[in-house]
Amino acid sequence: MRPSIPDDGLPPSQRVWAVLALVFAVGMSALDSSIGNTALPTIAAEMHASPASSIWVVNAYQLSVVVSLLPFASLGEIFGYRRVYILGLVVFTIGSLACALAWSLPTLIAARVLQGFGASGIMSVNTALVRFIYPSRSLGRGVGFNALVVGVSTAAGPSVAAAVLSVAPWQWLFAVNVPFGLVAFGLALRALPATPRASHRFDLASALLNAACLGLLIFGIGEAAHSADHLVVALVLTGAVVAGVLLVQRQLSLTAPLLPVDLYRRPMFALSSATAMCSFTAQGLAFVSLPFYFQTTLGHSAVETGMLLTPWPAATALMAPIAGPLSDRFPPAILGGIGMALLCLGLGLMAGLPAHPSTLDIVGRMLVCGAGFGFFQSPNLKAIMSAAPPQRSGSASGIVATSRLLGQSLGAALVALCFGIAAQRGPELALVLGAGFSGVASLVSFSRLLPGKPDSATLAAVSVDQRVPTGEAYVTGEQRGRGDAGR
């Protein structure tokens, strides 16, 4: 049976199964982006690898994800988000099994590359699918729940990894994905909707330039974070800039560019994307520096550190479902600005902890950070998606995921810089810098209320069957016979 293209979201009974399909896959892919750091010492010791070599277990995954996010998002617009999502889920599950069965560091790194491409297929289009699963009046609720899953999974990665490693070998960190992947695959076939398909062709040249630009950028940031030779870092980052300039020049002449420069001409989209980048940079600064702060400065054990990190994702989990529905009623610019102001306050309070803080001192400040981050993400995500027309949902979804990964990578590199500037006070300096990024994000979020920059709450809801402006042709709901292939 061929799945139909929904007019305005799925029926409630089918929507539940579709959301479950997203939760399983998105949760796994986000979790695997953060568990690698915790398992690296164990993997390196078992495989007799040096720290410099073992770091590629993390880098390989990040690089394969970031270089393919926008190409997969473009393929989703052309062939349907459902197809790309299911393909990504299949590749991710196979890659997870390959990681669990890896017998050497090179085979594990190769398996992580495969797993990363699968995760990219999932993350590149999951937000676009939310737009077709939920009715337009409940889009805030939908993106809020999606943001909750991504945020909690990413933040809980170190704690989950520590828990698994305490009772099982590191291979189980990847093996547990296999049964969940199979369940998600069955749910996706059953419930995910078909979506309109664009008529433009896939731009291979743009995809290669995108891979060169973002791949070199992430690689350069990672090398800088690990104190590589300055000349090598400079050459790599220069290559990223050159590829980026060529990529942007090529996109300006395209009606449906792979890098959505057309969407960045919309002030709401550009400002919301910039705010997202700042927020994830602040999160990256916090989550890389806090374990060092808790263990090295305060003398807590690894288990205690995991427990002290838990209030952040717990508060995010509580706040995101509240902020999502609120964004259907109030301007996301105000909600996002308040959320980032709270995160700025929380990180500032963390940086100003007394020399011998009590557990309550730490937990209270972490709760403020998590609540602020959760209150921001859902409204901002809705603002990004609402600012893009339905036929460009894939590109907007790709930018959401790309902003998150670039922000987290930049945050990690800045932590290394803080340690280089002040070894003993590095964690506190990183937290202060994170508070600064959060403060900037709050100001940028509020700036969306300025005249000439209408908040996304004022944008009219658009059905998925809306015709596209001239020059941006795509297949409408009237042409459902050309939709995604059935189960």
pLDDT at 75 over 50: yes
pLDDT band of residue 98 (cuts 50, 70, 90) is very high
pLDDT at 485 (0 to 100): 41
Is residue 435 very low, low, confident or very high in pLDDT (cuts 50, 70, 90)?
very high
Q: Is 478's pLDDT higher than 50?
A: no
Q: Answer with the residue of higher pLDDT: 55 or 67.
A: 67
Q: What is the pLDDT of residue 472?
A: 39
Write down the pLDDT at residue 51: 62
Closest CA to 446 of 315, 322, 350, 344: 344
One-letter identity of residue 55:
I
CA–CA distance, 36 with 190 (Å, rounded to integer): 32
pLDDT level of residue 468 (50, 70, 90 thresholds): very low
pLDDT average, residue stretch 156-161: 74
Query: Taking the CB of residue 51, how many other CB atoms lie within 10 A of it?
Result: 10
What type of residue sits at position 165? L
At 8 the pLDDT is: 63
The answer on pLDDT for 456 being more than 60 is no
Alpha-carbon gap, residue 257 to 472, rounded angstroms? 10
4 — pLDDT class (breaks 50, 70, 90):
low
CB 323 within 8 A of CB 380: no
- CA dist., res. 139 & res. 133, Å (int): 9
What local confidence, expressed as pLDDT, does residue 369 receive? 93
Q: What does pTM read for this prediction?
A: 0.73
What digits encode the pLDDT tens for the residues 411-433?
Answer: 877 887 787 777 678 888 889 99
Residue with tokens 């990183």: 430
Mean pLDDT of all residues belonging to the chain = 80
Helix (H) or strand (E) holding 464: none
**pLDDT reported for residue 112:** 92
> Among 96-100, 101-105, 239-243, 482-486, which is the least confidently predicted range?
482-486
Question: What is the residue-wise DSSP string for 318-360?
Answer: HHHHHHHHHTTTS-HHHHHHHHHHHHHHHHHHHHT--SS--HH
**At 362, is the pLDDT very low, low, confident or very high (cuts 50, 70, 90)?**
very high
> What are the tens digits of pLDDT across the range 229-258?
788 888 988 999 999 999 988 888 877 788
| The pLDDT value given to residue 457 | 43
Residues 89, 83: Cα–Cα separation, whole Å: 10
Distance CA 120, CA 115 (A): 9
Is the pLDDT confidence value at 118 over 90? yes
- Compute the average pLDDT of residues 138-142: 72
Give the CA distances from residue 3 to residues 124, 153, 483, in Å, rounded to whole numbers and listed in that order.
21, 30, 8
State the CB neighbour count (10 A cutoff) for residue 180.
16
Euclidean distance between CA atoms 63 and 222, whole angstroms:
10
